[in-house]
A and B are shown apart, each in its own frame.
Chain A
Amino acid sequence: MSSEGVRISMVREELIKSMVTENVILVSAAALCPALAVTVSLAAGLCMGACLCAVIIFTNAFVSMLRTAVPDRARLFLTLLIASSCTAIVMMLLKTWFPALSDRLGIYVPLIAVNCAVIGRAENYAAKNRFRRSVVHGFGTGIGVLLVLCIVGGIRELAGAGTIAGCKVLPMGTRVPFWVHASGGFCLFAVLLALVNHLRAAGKARASS
């Protein structure tokens, strides 16, 4: 009975930590490459987020399983092998089931293998924690990334093209192509990160006062 309770609270704590307090994109400002490149539409953001989530979970799982079997110096190389194999599998599945999206995402899907989120979390977290914890943490990280990509993708698609998931929502005249371009992505992310910083600082001030 008590082990069940411990397990649920551990899961909840890990999930909150990985999704919110240590969200890879919003707090650590890592894994920005796919986040900026791919989020021109909601569908692309969702797809990329799902792929990232899958790779993060599996990489965390395998690295955590093998963490005691491998000497320190070789661990990075092992992480890379695992991450790139997972990415290759995800790529093949994507090409089979969603070929159009796979073409649109282009080179960013194979680049999941060297994504800062994947490698960083595997090195700093999965290498030091037990299997269950790592998997839950990986799941939370992946869902956090997925949510951010969806939100940003949705905003950029709505503001830039007036559509959501391909359906025209706003009249053609109100769209601002700036948001769909590279510069719009950078600026939107700057504002988003600034907002998150502000909220965190406000939260910290409230907690200490």
Chain B
Amino acid sequence: MIFTTLLVLGITALVGGVVLSLSSHRLQAQMNPLVHRIERELPGVNCGECGHPLCGVFARLVADGREKPGGCIPGGHATSVRITSIMGNAPQATEALMAVVHCKGGHAEARVRSRYAGIPDCHAAMLSGSGSLICQEACLGLGSCVRVCPYGAIAVTGNGIAAVNPALCTGCGRCVAACPRSLIELIPRLHKIFLGCNNRDHGAHVSEYCAVGCTTCGICVEASRASAAISIDDNIPRLDYTKHENFITAAHKCPQKCFVDLVRARPKVNIDTKCDGCTACVPVCPVEAISGEKNHRHIVNKEKCIGCGICLGVCHVHAIALWGGLGYRAEGLSLKRR
């Protein structure tokens, strides 16, 4: 009996081992080397929260660029950051994205036409009368997006509209699908300005039902004419984030203040003693904040300056620099010195 046992068990182990080693040898050679590195960052519990059965499958899809790094819930924000940095070293890097809600008009700004007293869910409100605001493309503020966010990154503010906390958002995209009005979009994380309006209405009467609603006046298009980064499509401005444009000028010039700037305090420009007074910077400033006589050092009116950085590009002696402010990354946008 002992002999039979050992024989049978031994043969089973041998057969199984040979089969497995042969098959895994054939497979290992074909895999993208990134997959192993990504898989090591994942928790390996195969819980299925990302929508895929195995951590290995998710790792493979992220390496191929078919899945966003933020999909792993148990891994959380830290894992998503690490995976993004792994992917960043590869030629086909996926850009880090974050979600933004294209609506600014809450209780303080938008007028109501009715009082919705139904199930506190955006989909339910859409089915039964489209909510309580006059604007038919506004955020309903009932929190369908809040419920699907696994990181707690989106919440309904005191003003009654949803807003994303960029620090917690991993760009997984679940809220994008959950919003019945398609208000949420994923934009590159480096950009801090987006449009806070979604309405397809145009004309001055928009300001009657929403103090921050877009009237499609086209001033933002004009303000970013040099880079042609904004275009009007179906009565709503579309921001092209692939263009070399930081949208600060457009955001400042908008008469309805439709843009949302995630940076609380923008840095201001300062001109130092290297300035030779060539006056090249004076005409490019969109708010006419720079003044000075020819061949004398120019000065910046800090009250007017919006920190758009256009003047940095034209100064041939590099006398202009941005001072102060929070959260502005020099390597991001049009601050690249020539």
Contact = CB atoms under 8 A, between A and B. Distances in A.
A–B: direct contact at CB < 8 Å:
yes
Interface of A: 73-74, 77, 81, 85, 124
10 contacts: A73-B21, A73-B24, A74-B20, A77-B16, A77-B17, A77-B20, A81-B12, A81-B13, A81-B16, A124-B45
Interface of B: 9, 12-13, 16-17, 20-21, 24, 44-45
Nearest to A124: B44
Contacts of A77: 16-17, 20
A85 B24 contact: no
- 9 residue pairs, one from A and one from B, having the closest CB atoms: A73-B24, A77-B20, A81-B13, A77-B16, A77-B17, A74-B17, A85-B9, A124-B44, A74-B21
Contacts of B21: 73-74
Given A77-B16, A81-B13, 14 more contacts: A73-B20, A73-B21, A73-B24, A74-B17, A74-B20, A74-B21, A77-B17, A77-B20, A81-B9, A81-B12, A81-B16, A85-B9, A124-B44, A124-B45
A148 to B, nearest CB: 20
A41 to B, nearest CB: 32
Contacts of B24: 73
Contacts of A124: 44-45
A75 to B, nearest CB: 11
B175 to A, nearest CB: 23
A77 B16 CA distance: 8
A21 to B, nearest CB: 16
A197 to B, nearest CB: 15
A188 to B, nearest CB: 23
A85 B10 CA distance: 12
Contacts of B13: 81
Nearest to B28: A73
Nearest to B16: A77
Contacts of A74: 17, 20-21
A81 B11 CA distance: 12
A58 to B, nearest CB: 16
A73 B19 CA distance: 13
A110 B279 CA distance: 87
Nearest to B12: A81
A90 B43 CA distance: 32
A200 B12 CA distance: 44
Nearest to A85: B9
Nearest to B20: A77
A73 B56 CA distance: 14
B28 to A, nearest CB: 8
Contacts of A73: 20-21, 24
A73 B20 CA distance: 9
A198 to B, nearest CB: 18
B142 to A, nearest CB: 23
A16 to B, nearest CB: 21
Contacts of A81: 9, 12-13, 16
Nearest to A28: B45
Contacts of B20: 73-74, 77
Nearest to A30: B45
Contacts of B17: 74, 77
A106 B5 CA distance: 23
A72 B16 CA distance: 16
A176 B44 CA distance: 41
A85 B17 CA distance: 16
B35 to A, nearest CB: 14
Contacts of B12: 81
A124 B44 CA distance: 9
A124 B46 CA distance: 12
B225 to A, nearest CB: 51
Nearest to A123: B44
A73 B22 CA distance: 12
Contacts of B44: 124
A81 B13 CA distance: 7
A85 B9 CA distance: 9
A76 B142 CA distance: 47
A91 to B, nearest CB: 14
A32 to B, nearest CB: 14
B17 to A, nearest CB: 6
B32 to A, nearest CB: 18
Contacts of A85: 9
A141 to B, nearest CB: 16
A81 B16 CA distance: 10
